[in-house]
Amino acid sequence: MTITTQSLISIGHRGAKGHGPENTLLGIERALALGTTHIEIDVFLVDGELVVFHDDRLERTTNGTGYLWDQSFTDLRSLDAGSGEKIPTLAEVGTLINWRAGLNIELKGPGTAAPVAAFIDDLLNSGWPLHSILVSSFDHRQLVELKRLNSQIRIGALTASLPVDNARFAETLGAFSVHPSLEFIDWAFVTDAHARGLKVYVYTVDHPEDIARMHALGVDGVFSNFPDRVTNQYPPTGRSILWE
Provide the annotated active-site residues: 13, 54
Cis peptide bond upstream of 204, omega within 30: yes
Site residues (CB under 5 A) for Mg ion, limited to 99-118:
106
Helix (H, G, I), strand (E, B) or coil at 131: helix
Beta carbon of residue 36, minimum distance to ligand G3P (angstroms, whole number): 15
Q: Which is nearer to Mg ion, 42 or 220 (CB)?
A: 42
Within 137-176, the residues that bind Mg ion by CB under 5 A are: none
Residue 77 binds which of ligand G3P, Mg ion, none (CB < 5-8 A, kind-dependent): none
With CB under 5 A as the contact rule, the residue among 18, 25, 26, 42 that binds Mg ion is: 42
Q: How far is the CB of 54 from ligand G3P (least distance, A)?
A: 6
Least distance in Å: CB of 125 to ligand G3P? Answer: 26
Look at strands 38-46 and 49-52 and give their pairing: antiparallel
Question: Of 40 and 145, which has the nearer Cβ to ligand G3P?
Answer: 40
Residue 190 Cβ vs ligand G3P, minimum distance, rounded to whole Å:
17
Q: Where are the alpha helices (DSSP H) in the chain?
A: 25-33, 73-77, 90-97, 113-125, 140-149, 168-172, 187-195, 208-217, 227-233
Q: Which C-beta is closer to ligand G3P: that of 75 or that of 139? A: 139
| Region from 41-49, 79-87, 116-124, 180-188 binding Mg ion, contact rule CB under 5 A | 41-49
Q: Of 105, 91, 96, whose CA–CA distance to 28 is shortest?
A: 96
Using CB under 5 A as the binding rule, whether residue 22 contacts Mg ion is answered as no
Q: Which residues bind ligand G3P (CB under 6 A)?
A: 13, 40, 42, 54, 106, 136, 158, 179, 203, 223
Q: What letter represents residue 34's amino acid? A: L
Task: Name the closest residue to Mg ion (Cβ).
Answer: 106
- Within 8 A by CB and 6+ apart from 47, the residues are 71, 72, 73, 76
> What is the DSSP secondary-structure string of 150-186?
-TTSEEEEEESS--TTTTHHHHHTT-SEEEEBTTT--
Q: In which region does residue 148 sit, left (phi positive, over 0), alpha (psi from -120 to 50) or beta (all else)?
A: alpha
Residues in touch with Mg ion (CB under 5 A) = 42, 106
